[in-house]
Amino acid sequence: MLDKINQLLSEIESLNASTVEEIENLRIKYLSKKGEISSLMNDFRNVAAEQKREVGMKLNVLKEQAQDRINSLREALESNPTTDDTIDLTRTAAPVKLGTRHPLSIVKHEICNIFNKMGFSIAEGPEIEDDWHVFSALNFADDHPARDMQDTFFVSHDPQVLLRTHTSSVQVRVMEKQQPPIRIICPGRVYRNEAISYRAHCFFHQVEALYIDKNVSFADLKQMLLYFAKEMFGADTKIRLRPSYFPFTEPSAEMDISCNICSGKGCPFCKHTGWVEILGCGMVDPNVLESCGIDSKEYTGYALGMGIERITNLKYRVKDLRMFSENDVRFLDQFQDAY
């Protein structure tokens, strides 16, 4: 038996293989249950008692060397694969066409990156909300039109459960759980009961921002808006603020930017005014702060909200809002180089 073991040891030292199949065949030949080493193990009971110690040690060495040699062959093959092993024979001969991000996602990420530079973090919340977080905490009157079924989707017969009409509900949830300073943006999808057309849809996307701290002023808001407009639309972009009304901000304003299509000279897109409205903003109403457990005498803040579809239209001049939700590949392919 010792002669047979020595013979196998010399064989194993010179083993070579160039494919996975050859390595597997070697493993079966030497290490399987019916392999040569297993046969020697079975014959071990017939060895004379005075030789068992020496033969047993030799068998263990033989088995270990066989395992090490096969493992080293396998590792060498994996680290230096042959050309045949790297070819995927199931792959189509035609070039694989890559997809693209949705234009709304491209613009949303761009908006978020700009606000991230200013220290804003992202906050998210549920799309199915309750009346408190969507309306009551935001200073909406009980008879406000937004509470009507003609304007809002209610999920059940319970008027307390609805699809959020803006991402301001996320701001409320953050203010309830966190004391100032608060500096967040809230991107997400919102729903309103509107007839679908080229300029309106029953769901769309928003990004809202909220900053609350001590001594926050309208001047801080204006400076932040100017920075955002220049980063988003170019260094030559100008802004103007017009007085407006929102239940949750006081004072409130709507912001226009100089039309980036005609450079403010006047065109059909800006209705020949040279200006395009892109967002609403204002100082957070003290009633909203108090409703969320924040002392309005110590803290002030500003908030703003914009439609992502609106910003995307300005950047890419998409004429029909319905194209954003139809998933037409011909439309999406136009944005291959947009990011």
Q: What's the pLDDT tens digit per position in 3-61?
A: 777 888 888 888 888 888 888 888 888 888 888 888 878 777 777 878 878 877 888 88
Given a contact cutoff of 8 angstroms between Cβ atoms, the answer to whether 150 and 194 are in contact is no
Buried b / exposed e over 196-232, threshold 16 CB at 10 Å, is eeeeebeebbbbbbbbbeeebeeebbbebbeebbbbb
Q: Are 281 and 302 in contact (CB under 8 A)?
A: yes
Domains delineated in the chain: 2-86 (no CATH), 103-335 (3.30.930.10)
| Residue 263 CA: distances (Å) to CA of 61, 152, 273 | 84, 37, 11
pTM of the model: 0.68
Distance CA 15, CA 65 (A): 11
- 189: nearest Cα among 211, 162, 207: 207
Amino acid (1-letter code) at residue 333: D
What H or E segment, with its residue span, contains residue 132?
Answer: helix 131-134
pLDDT tens figures, 169-195: 999 999 999 999 999 999 999 999 888
Judge whether residue 246 has pLDDT over 80. yes
| pLDDT of res. 186 | 95
DSSP H/E element including 224: helix 218-233
Is 299 within 8 Å of 213 (Cβ atoms)?
yes
Which tokens in the block code for residue 60?
């263990």
Strands (E), 194-274: 203-213, 239-246, 249-258
Residue 112: how many other CB atoms lie within 10 Å: 16
